[in-house]
């Protein structure tokens, strides 16, 4: 019998303390313990990007991390970015340009796109494509997603 461990971390600005099994990954912890189901699980192998979250300011694949590794960290999920309004313009651009269809990839795609826009305020299409290349979308063909990110970058640059 493996004993659970206590972890304490900040999730979307709230202090969270929980008991987790040592082998539980961060994606499952967010979904099952905290009901933050916007973090999707696709491949569980670090390939698809559906589980992308922000950890101490950088995006990570939460299926590749153990929950215990997030002890003392600050985690932001798509719910946190959405509720704070940080990505309201990006979400609107995705809606306007039909950059989502089934929506499965969308939370991870938005997390990765916002990460790029924080690193590079004026990325060209090639840079956007490269930054999002680890986030798979089976529906859209990517063009509309690139359009939405490019439009958001331009709008944020406008005086």
Span from 30-38, 40-48, 110-118, 123-131 in contact with ligand FES (CB under 6 A):
40-48
* DSSP H helical ranges for the chain: 26-28, 78-84, 88-96, 106-119, 125-131, 143-157
CA 119 distance to own-chain centroid: 15
If one asks whether residue 155 binds ligand FES (CB under 6 A), the answer comes out as: no
User: Using the rule CB under 6 A, which residue among 70, 73, 90, 100 binds ligand FES?
Assistant: 100
Q: Residue 53 to residues 7, 77, 81, 158: CA-CA distances in angstroms?
A: 18, 5, 10, 28
Binding residue count for ligand FES, defined by CB under 6 A: 23
User: Using the rule CB under 6 A, which residue among 22, 23, 32, 47 binds ligand FES?
Assistant: 47
Sheet holding 14-20, edge to edge: 14-20, 5-11, 74-76, 52-55, 58-61
If one asks whether residue 61 binds ligand FES (CB under 6 A), the answer comes out as: yes
Q: Closest separation between CB of residue 142 and ligand FES, Å?
A: 9
Residues that bind ligand FES (CB under 6 A): 41-44, 46-51, 61, 63, 100-106, 137-140
């Amino acid at each position: 019998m493996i004993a659970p461990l206590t972890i304490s971390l900040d999730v979307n600005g709230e202090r969270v303390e929980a008991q987790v099994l040592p082998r539980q990954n961060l994606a499952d912890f967010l979904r099952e313990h905290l009901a933050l189901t916007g973090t999707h699980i696709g491949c569980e192998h670090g390939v698809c990007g559906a589980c992308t979250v922000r950890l101490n300011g950088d995006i990570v694949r939460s299926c590749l991390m153990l929950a215990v590794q997030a002890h003392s960290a600050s985690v932001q999920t798509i719910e946190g970015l959405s509720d704070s309004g940080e990505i309201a313009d990006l979400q609107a651009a995705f809606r306007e340009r039909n950059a989502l269809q089934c929506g499965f990839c969308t939370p991870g795609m938005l997390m990765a796109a916002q990460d790029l826009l924080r690193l590079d305020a004026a990325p060209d299409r090639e840079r956007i494509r490269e930054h999002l290349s680890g986030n798979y979308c089976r529906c859209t063909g990517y063009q509309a997603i690139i359009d939405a990110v490019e439009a958001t970058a331009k709008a944020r640059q406008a005086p």
